[in-house]
Amino acid sequence: RHWSNEITVRNTYMSPLVYKILTVCTRGKTGEMLSSKLLTLVMVVQPGRVLLGMKKRGFGAGRWNGFGGKVQPGETIEDAARRELQEESGLTVDVLEKVGNIKFEFVGETQLLDVHIFRADSYNGEPTESEEMRPQWFECHQIPFSQMWPDDIMWFPLLLQKKKFVGHFKFEGHDVILSHTLEEVKEL
């Protein structure tokens, strides 16, 4: 049987059992079995600028990115996004808008990264460096794409225009995109 790798989570609360079911086997584009890992990414946007964090350790170290991480069992995707933003930047938000969902596949890896992307246009607190991230504001015309994941330059314009999108990126290593799909959608 062929399992879809297009899992959509619409629950507002995810029980540990549902979480476990959603993180078990999906099938990659080339037929290999991949487990799916739920992740969040929050982009804090102000008029003419965006807050990015320099990843100091772990996956993506040395790159500018938004703030996010793993969804824990029993946690909603939005709750995970809020928690990760606070842990990595010291900021809290009242409103998060879900703007994207991108699946990332890495050749030779067994996990498909299912990333739920949120935009926050207002926040509480001051951006503060954490053990994992060093926050910095960038003017929208000076976003350091050469120091970010290579796919970011493709979907950032949609994010900045407040458009919703879905996509799939297949990587060789961390720097080469072998194939991708990206499309604007009305709803997520």
Question: What are the pLDDT digits (tens) for 31-66?
Answer: 557 899 999 999 999 999 999 999 999 888 999 999
Into how many domains does the chain fold?
1
Q: What are phi and psi of 102, to 5 degrees?
A: -125, 135
Phi-psi region of 69 (alpha: psi -120 to 50; beta: other; left: phi over 0): left
171 lies in some domain: yes
Count of other CB atoms within 10 angstroms of residue 60:
15
Tell me, what's the pLDDT at 129?
97
Residue 24, domain extent: 16-185
Which residues, given as ranges, of the chain have pLDDT below 70? Answer: 1-32
pLDDT given for residue 19 in this prediction: 43
Is there a domain that residue 67 lies in?
yes
CATH of the domain at 84: 3.90.79.10
Residue 78 inside a domain? The answer is yes
What are the residues whose beta carbons fall under 8 Å from the beta carbon of 170, sequence distance 6 or more? 29, 105, 106, 107, 177, 178, 179, 180
Q: What was the pLDDT predicted at 27?
A: 46
What pLDDT does 96 receive?
A: 97
| Domain-embedded: residue 81 | yes
Q: What is the pLDDT of residue 59?
A: 85
- Structural domain includes residue 167: yes
